[in-house]
Structure 1
Amino acid sequence: MDQRPLGLLTIHVKRGINLAIRDARSSDPYVVLSVGDQSLKTRVVKKNCNPTWNEEFSFAIKDPNVPIRLTVFDKDKFTGDDKMGDANIDIQAYLEALKMGMELLRLPNGCAIKRVEPNRQNCLSDESSIVWNNGKITQDMILRLNNVECGEVELMLEWHEGPGCRGLLPSS
């Protein structure tokens, strides 16, 4: 079996919205993203329940069915970090849009290719658009955190196929 990744998924972690309070009056949040055995985390934003991270992380995607997990934590100095919620990032609709390939070249910039509605299977808090812009397909989303009283995280997905990647489309 071909062990090369299909491509690289860049996840731009933009900001947290109304995150839970885990310290006296605020929290010191950071995000951990995990895909299979890959795990990366943002910097800690001190004393802020509406933090802005604006950080990008790229993951080699070998199997599109492996869940992408986002977990928010509150950094604590003297005890273990407190969990502030989690969510799965559903990329299936995004990957389907990417498979449209060359058909998209005729679309105008800023054109929404697909809209994804929130449902019980995804963690979307609002409709998410997959957009064709400047030769790239991106998806902005706001995820509602599970296992916590409140909180959302805003993200953007972007796909890259480079040297050493198999690609999403079967080679002919």
Structure 2
Amino acid sequence: MGNSEFEVRSYIEALKLHNSSLEEVPDGTVLSRLPPTTTNCLAEESAIYLHEGKVVQDLLLRLRDVECGEVEIQLEWIHFPGSKTFLSQ
């Protein structure tokens, strides 16, 4: 089936920025773009953007340890009331 990995640091930084200063930024605004490199599994540029008031990241990742293949995922932070989070730090 293969495997892949991705770095969440840029996504976390965008979450912190949104939590502190992006309340009036329009929907669809791109906060950051991550290019594919030889050291990550991105198959194409990955955008971190605002969608319906939430920070979202779309990723198309190349699979490793297989002949070929890709997996497409979307990250969205979901906060549960009462849970501890890095966003309040």
TM-score, length of structure 2 as denominator length:
0.88
* Deviations 1:61-90 (CA, angstroms, capped at 9, x unpaired): xxxxxxxxxxxxxxxxxxxxxxx2110132
Q: Give the CA deviation at 1:102.
A: 3.0
The structure that is helix-richer by fraction is: 2
The structure that is strand-richer by fraction is: 1
Q: Which 5+ residue runs of structure 1 have no aligned equivalent?
A: 1-83
Cα distance in structure 2, aligned partners of 1:120 and 1:126: 12
Cα distance in structure 1, aligned partners of 2:49 and 2:87: 19
Cα distance in structure 2, aligned partners of 1:165 and 1:122: 31
How many residues get paired?
A: 88
Q: Give the CA deviation at 1:120.
A: 3.1
Write out aligned runs for 1:79-98 (5 A). Answer: 84-98=1-15
Report whether the alignment pairs 1:154 with 2:75. Answer: no
Cα distance in structure 1, aligned partners of 2:87 and 2:26: 23
Match of 1:138 among 33, 51, 56: 56
| SS class of match (1:86) | coil
Q: Which runs of 4+ in 1 moved over 4 A?
A: none
Aligned CA-pair RMSD: 1.4
Cα distance in structure 2, aligned partners of 1:115 and 1:157: 14
Match of 1:128 among 39, 46, 71: 46
Write out aligned runs for 1:1-172 (5 A). Answer: 84-100=1-17, 101-171=19-89
Name the aligned partner's letter for residue 64 of structure 2. Answer: N
| SS class of match (1:156) | strand
TM-score, length of structure 1 as denominator length:
0.48
* Identical amino acids, percent of aligned pairs: 43
